[in-house]
Structure 1
Amino acid sequence: MSAPSVPSAGTHADTRRVELAITGMTCASCAARIERKLNRLDGVTASVNYATENARVDHPASVGVDDLVATVEKLGYGATVPTPADTSPADDRPGPGDADVLRTRLLVSLALTLPVVVLAMVPAWQFTSWQWLSAILAAPVVVWGGQDFHRAAWTNLRHGAASMDTLVSVGTLAALGWSFYALFLGGAGMPGMTHGLSLTAAGGPDAIYLEAASAVTTFVLAGRFFEARAKRRAGDALRALLDLGAKDVAVRRDGHEERIPVDRLVLGDEFVVRPGDTVATDGVVVEGRSAVDASAMTGESVPVDVGPGDRVSGATVAVGGRLVVRATAVGADTRLARIARRVEEAQNGKAEVQRLADRVSGVFVPVVIALSLGTLAVWLLLGAGASAAFTAAVAVLIIACPCALGLATPTALMVGTGRGAQLGILLRGPEVLESTRRVDTVVLDKTGTVTTGEMALVGVTPLAGVDEDELLRRAGALEDALTHPVARAVADAARERLPELGGVLPAAVDVAARDGLGVRGTVEGRTVVVGRTRLLDAEDVAVDPGLADAVARVEARGATPVAVAWADEAGVLTARGVLAVADTVRATSADAIAALHGMGLRTVLLTGDHETVARAVADEVGIDTVIAGVLPEEKAEEVARLQSEGAVVAMVGDGVNDAAALARADLGLAMGTGSDAAIEAGDLTLVRGDLRVVPDALRLARRTLGTIKGNLFWAFAYNVAALPLAAFGLLNPMIAGAAMAFSSVFVVGNSLRLRRFTPRGGAR
């Protein structure tokens, strides 16, 4: 129970963070009460989530975990520190709220309640002494079926507090107690007594409320059961994510394979992945080639080919050949673990809109009890009779359950973030949702975000009398001797476009690289020069008049010109043509920008590249504004400048040089294919490098926020409308109980609609 906690990011060096699993909570006011008590401890900041049954606590070293647990237990609830192996969401924990326990109790209570309600509703069926049969059937429903409510109410009473269970327990026991009083001491027990069901607080001195007591208990049990089942469904996405990982793995040790549990893998282990196997953990391929299906983690529907030197993530599936992978991360450091952790953190947090609901729930129950007593007193003073006054007071107690308020935000967050995880969209926390609603400008980094970040040959322009294949073959052969990105692009294109070479380029000898300019060497017995036009000048190359025009055309399209020259039979170096190399635009970028424009957002390209190159990329994909020639340290300043002009900025980036800008923006969206620094600085992480996920992420976040606000509106509206009706005697307690249960089920059901969120872009 006193497992050590770790320092939390972004907190004081002496502050630690611990996650506590809370048991015994039955409504939002329970969560608010625990949160208030923890926050009163010196230096402690706590957030308690009713839906996930978790508490996230930042505490100083002077306040130990045992102190936190003891504080919660003093309030009558349970608290434990989940072990590392306990990765199940909170609603899987056994306890009074477990769906299986609730189902049994609900079914038995329903079977006993139905005849009680039917007899009360149909006077013609009220045989002699029917009321005593109703009492025999209703008593176990209220006492046994509602035992959790009574137990929680008693615990709260001992600690001088009240909760939703207090309202239900007092209301149902009062209705049962009044009924037994009327049966044993009043005239209700006389043979032949009959009465009809009233939807209001009307009733005579011998009225009994057995149908109200048993029906309210059954309705509340039904609401709890459907709520527990819906919460379990809301956590399905996270559970599915956690279940993706392999359970065992074939490790190569001492020259042979050994199958071991995946948790025994250590860094540096080499393990075998056969077709159909799940990759056990993050690593680098050392042998073999295969297509890898990452759809369950990233939403990418097309498998990606990998080979030696390529990175693979745990929980992806090999669908092609056999691979041997060297583990580079294990346990909590894997990509899957980090994704699951990010999802859980988002689900455990609270949006600003929920904090108002928490404050209301914290004071709601005492106010309702006071209102119920006031209703009783007013009705008695008006001479309406004890029975009618009692009925109205009980209806106030039962109708006022604040459970829907407590479920409004957490259930929507659980479903929304779970659906996002399935689509490769990770939300850092619920506070991010507010930012997505206000964003009006999307700033995009160029390299690695709008473009692939990889240089490629995009054009070949031979001069008069020069064969295009010969130009590409000799340039590719010379560039193949270098590792520069431009050189690799030329050499790879030569292999791909000249299949008659069988993937083998002519050998280059006497290769001499000129930093920043290009390279000179000998290919097929001819001196060849490849590089900038300045290198041709330095090598006294005879320049064809068409060379300058070809270079100008390449630059105009935003690509890098690479001039090629070689010697003729007389040994005279002559310009032969120009190659165009560029950082290629992602095939999906134009669709993504169109989708952002369709949402009414302005787009800005922010890059350190030359204005001409940046403008060419922006024109190709349809970006509105270009800010070019910006140094890495100036990107955050440009974001701040846009904000000073009134823009609410979302920044999309992937590199280390984007981290400051991502942090400075109102909303940071980090491409998951980028650097760890960028991912940590972002508010939203897009697991894969498809820009079309950006509008999907914004749409999902906005949809989740809209669902939360809709939930809160209906939860507040329900209480605002129902309480006066109950106080004025216009609601029978049984009807009030049904309405109260329905409100909680409605809120959870509304949240579950987020599971059907359909992406329009790159997500699955």
Structure 2
Amino acid sequence: MASTSFIVEGMHCGACTGRVERALQAEAGVTLAAANLMARSVRVEFEAPARAETLAEALARAGYPIAEAETCLGFDAPPPADRVVSALQATPGVLSVLLLPEGSARVTYAQGTVAPSELLRRLDAIDVPARVIRATAAPAPVAERQAAEAARLKRQVLLSALLTAPVFFLAMGPHLYPPLHHLLARLIGEDGMQAVQFVFTTLVLAFPGRVFLRLGLPALFRLAPEMNSLVALGALAAWGYSALVVLVPQILPPGTVDVYFEAAAVIVTLILLGRWLEARAKGQAGEAISRLVALRPATARVQRPEGTIELPVEELAPGDLVDLAPGGRVAVDGIITEGHGFVDESMLTGEPVPVGKAPGQPVTGGTVNGTSALVFRVTATGADTVLSRIIALVEAAQGQKLPVQALVDRVTRVFVPVVMALSTLTFAVWVALGQGLAPALVAAISVMIIACPCAMGLATPVSILVGTGRGAELGLLFRRGDALQRLAEVRTLAFDKTGTLTEGRPALTDLFVLPGQTEAEILRLAAGAEARSEHPLARAVVQAAEAAGIAPARARKVIATPGRGLSAEVEGRPILLGNAAALVEAGIDPAPLQPTAEVFAQDGKTPVLVALDGAPVAVLALADPPKAHATDAVAALTRAGVAVAMISGDVAATAEAVGRQLGISRVIAGVLPAGKVAALEEMKRAGAVAFVGDGINDAPALAAADVGLALGSGTDVAIEAAEVVIVGADPRGAVRAVALSKAVMRNIRQNLFWAFAYNAALIPVAMGVLVPFGGPGLSPMLAAAAMSLSSVFVVTNALRLRRAAA
């Protein structure tokens, strides 16, 4: 199975993305085609007989040619032609390979899918050395392309406005100020005014408005009309009728020789203005990705035998030692080798508190160093870094379609032909009712313009774009865009316990000593014995002593008994740590410690009894403590109307105790991975279920849930099985994910309601349904303004998501 992406600049609306996808899906071998309106791209998965060049040809036939790039490769010796062509054509994205007589090869490929260095590696693999002679520049990032599009549209708007101003003045000025009409009639005459309007309107259509003709008319001829077709037909109809009035007025019936040049010119200007405002808003919508990209520094200071040198980040390699100055931004992922300090990882986790770093601890590219100088060893570069993977995940999610988009696609597919039919019907009815040729034409044009489905096509993708970008800022990575919709429908959210709601490592929580003993002394002696053990509970005792500044005593004759405990000799004194059975077997009565041990056990803690010199002296309580904000996360989900459950492989007493601490009433304990899946299936009877986990044993449950959320601190297996990745280890990320998904779906519903209701309400007005009752009609100029404002409203409404789930 091969996969590639094409840049398709000709996509302008939801109908366009549907046609692009259908054109590709009609090709044999294509298994997936997903168009991204915001990025003007389409991702294709395919197998034989489909090839990149046949897919590009299919898009060209559909009227959506892809952006191409070209690289010229040179060889030091005549290459084996067949092997070179086969190797290069096997590269996903390569469209054609042409060997030239002078010993070079011209490779044409889909822009953005292949780098010249990849072509060289393909040839190196078959032992054919080559070099790049000439290459097309790499495609600009999406944000830069959007900024360039906005700048181009701004120039078109200004030019169109300058050319339209005289037309609007001559057509509307006399209506606003009647004496002006007499003045203009004396100066240039009626024919002169019409001629000036003709010239300037023709210039508007020929230059800034040419985009509508260039895209809309071919689509019309292919019997696949789209929004540009509606604008082109409306503007051309107004211009063509008016041109006949100016050039051959004798062919028209008396009383119908009015001109409507201002309608054609103003339509183009207003729709270009709307597209410019929309493009600016799209640029703001994609700011999250732009900010992530901007986090990558351009250079880094690398240690070399001859000294420290500054290198471009692209030239760093795993193993390089990089100096990180105070306040500097980490270039790539690595491991600290020298220095102690704090690093601001808020770009990664959303948490503002800097994280302490010491030798052996990881740092992530894009994070910011504090006030200490550090040195780190590079572990990942390029696309392998955490930041690059985050950007790739967000961009992929932004190109996904939500299930709700299927309805929009079906509507927009038939909407344009229906609008054209309604426009034709309006013209015919007005003429049949004797209202006159010119008014009938105006009404038909108004219907065509007001009904452009731009807002419908934008309603869903722009909300996904902003929502997933906001998620990245909050440390939420939606690996699949449709998880946004399904997460908003979740009725129950189930957590794994260990490592998700709890810290995932045992800690000493309580220390009870009998009279005559001191806590510090017991901890010193116990830590000395446990220091020789690798058991997790033993490590917890040692770490508690170290945290208290207590040096463990020296121990010898350490003997560990599975299921019982550990015995040793510490500073000549026998010590025993274990359960009650271990003390009984050693002939020691545990009764003085039993009541306290039972209280600890009821609280979900593991009691460890301590006997010293053959007598019971203390009880250590060890537990996996809940995370700092786990209780807050459970309470917030409950307030939001989401039922919370906990599924754990731990024993029932411990799991239920943790559940009581966190306020979770539904606890399912003692289950293996398969049991977690079965528990989720049972929960699904009450509605959609999400599962939050972090370990390898959570992967089946993450995949089985309607939505799987993996903590980014967990294993790669868990992350790969989940639809949503919560960067870091904070369970409140699940709360943010639910809140963000609900905000996105609410925003999409608002956008769709506006787009559909707007068209449903104004199409009859444009058709003139209210005119017989003394109501208003709708002029083409007002129709163009309303249509543009509708798209701007949808995009602006989506931008509110930039503050969601704060």
Q: TM-score, normalised by structure 2?
A: 0.85
Question: Which of 54, 62, 71 does residue 75 from structure 1 map onto?
Answer: 62
1:555 aligns with 2:585: no
Equivalent position SS for 2:667: strand
Write the distance in 1 (CA, Å) between the matches of 2:564 and 2:52: 62
Q: Is the 8 A contact 2:298 2:312 kept in 1?
A: yes
In structure 1, give the amino acid aligned to 2:767: A
Write the distance in 2 (CA, Å) between the matches of 1:243 and 1:507: 54
Question: Which of 586, 609, 612 does residue 627 from structure 2 map onto?
Answer: 586
In structure 2, give the amino acid aligned to 1:599: A
Write the distance in 2 (CA, Å) between the matches of 1:283 and 1:84: 27
Write the distance in 1 (CA, Å) between the matches of 2:565 and 2:356: 32
1:93 aligns with 2:80: no
Q: Is the 8 A contact 1:639 1:661 kept in 2?
A: yes
In structure 2, give the amino acid aligned to 1:755: R
Write the distance in 2 (CA, Å) between the matches of 1:506 and 1:270: 39
Structure 1: runs of 5 or more not aligned:
1-14, 190-202, 568-572, 760-764
Q: Is the 8 A contact 1:273 1:324 kept in 2?
A: yes
Write the distance in 2 (CA, Å) between the matches of 1:395 and 1:118: 21
Equivalent position SS for 1:305: strand
Write the distance in 2 (CA, Å) between the matches of 1:720 and 1:17: 40
1:120 aligns with 2:171: yes
1:508 aligns with 2:538: no
Write the distance in 1 (CA, Å) between the matches of 2:673 and 2:632: 27
* Residue equivalent to 1:745: 792
* Residue equivalent to 2:234: 171
* Residue equivalent to 1:338: 389
Q: Is the 8 A contact 2:645 2:664 kept in 1?
A: yes
1:426 aligns with 2:477: yes
Write the distance in 2 (CA, Å) between the matches of 1:629 and 1:34: 51
* Residue equivalent to 1:705: 745
Q: Deviations over 1:141-183 (max 9, x none)?
A: 2322201111112432454432211111121122122222223
1:311 aligns with 2:374: no
Write the distance in 1 (CA, Å) between the matches of 2:320 and 2:560: 39
Write the distance in 1 (CA, Å) between the matches of 2:149 and 2:687: 48
Give the 5 Å matches for 1:617-696.
617-643=658-684, 645-696=685-736
Equivalent position SS for 2:670: coil
Q: Is the 8 A contact 2:146 2:279 kept in 1?
A: no
Equivalent position SS for 1:453: coil
Measure how far apart 1:253 and its partner are: 4.2
In structure 2, give the amino acid aligned to 1:602: A
Measure how far apart 1:383 and its partner are: 1.7
1:229 aligns with 2:280: yes
Number of aligned residue pairs: give it: 720
Measure how far apart 1:691 and its partner are: 1.1
Write the distance in 2 (CA, Å) between the matches of 1:531 and 1:312: 39
In structure 2, give the amino acid aligned to 1:175: A
* Residue equivalent to 1:565: 611
Give the 5 Å matches for 1:27-46.
27-44=13-30, 45-46=32-33
Q: Is the 8 A contact 1:187 1:206 kept in 2?
A: no
Write the distance in 2 (CA, Å) between the matches of 1:325 and 1:156: 56
1:181 aligns with 2:211: no
Q: Percent identity?
A: 42
Give the 5 Å matches for 1:189-268.
205-254=256-305, 256-268=307-319
Q: Is the 8 A contact 1:517 1:531 kept in 2?
A: yes
Write the distance in 1 (CA, Å) between the matches of 2:690 and 2:367: 30
Write the distance in 2 (CA, Å) between the matches of 1:294 and 1:516: 42
Q: Is the 8 A contact 1:241 1:297 kept in 2?
A: no
In structure 2, give the amino acid aligned to 1:456: A
Q: Deviations over 1:260-286 (max 9, x none)?
A: 222223333333323222222223333
1:559/1:204 CA distance change after superposition, 3 Å: farther
Q: Deviations over 1:449-502 (max 9, x none)?
A: 1111121110000012211111111112222233322112111211222x4x4x
Measure how far apart 1:605 and its partner are: 1.2
* Residue equivalent to 1:58: 45
1:188/1:524 CA distance change after superposition, 3 Å: farther
Measure how far apart 1:533 and its partner are: 2.9
* Aligned CA-pair RMSD: 2.3
Give the 5 Å matches for 1:123-522.
123=174, 124=178, 125-126=180-181, 127-128=184-185, 129=189, 130-157=193-220, 159-186=222-249, 205-254=256-305, 256-497=307-548, 499=549, 501=550, 504-522=551-569
Q: Is the 8 A contact 1:91 1:228 kept in 2?
A: no
Equivalent position SS for 2:6: strand
Question: Which of 3, 26, 34 does residue 47 from structure 1 map onto?
Answer: 34
- Whose RCO is larger (CA < 8 A, sep 6+)? 1
Question: Which of 575, 581, 596 does residue 616 from structure 2 map onto?
Answer: 575
1:493/1:87 CA distance change after superposition, 3 Å: farther
More deviation, 39-48/454-463: 39-48
In structure 1, give the amino acid aligned to 2:625: T
1:378/1:267 CA distance change after superposition, 3 Å: same
